[in-house]
Amino acid sequence: MKEEHIEVEGRIQTVLPGTMFRVELTNKHLVLATICGKMRKRWVRLTVGDRVKMEMSPYDLDKARITWRLK
């Protein structure tokens, strides 16, 4: 059985090397996030202040995968 991902939204605070980002969630929690393969393939650019939608594992709430850039 595959575990379900937690969908959350946040705002990018810091751009780190290696396509890593420090993202602040709406509850002021900071997570380390990377972009998903589809966004990497399509050359989607993310900057400080962008709102993003992420998937988090229920087992590790300090890391996330960015799946969408919001307007």
What pTM was computed for the model? 0.90
Of the candidates 20, 44, 43, the residue with the CA atom closest to the CA atom of residue 33: 20
Report the distance separating Cα 71 and Cα 62, nearest Å: 24
Q: Which residues contact 39 (CB under 8 A, 6 or more apart)?
A: 66, 67, 69
How high is the pLDDT of residue 1? 63
- Read off the amino acid at residue 67: T
The domain limits of the chain are 6-70
CATH class of 6-70: mainly beta
**With pLDDT > 90 as the criterion, what percentage of the chain qualifies?**
92
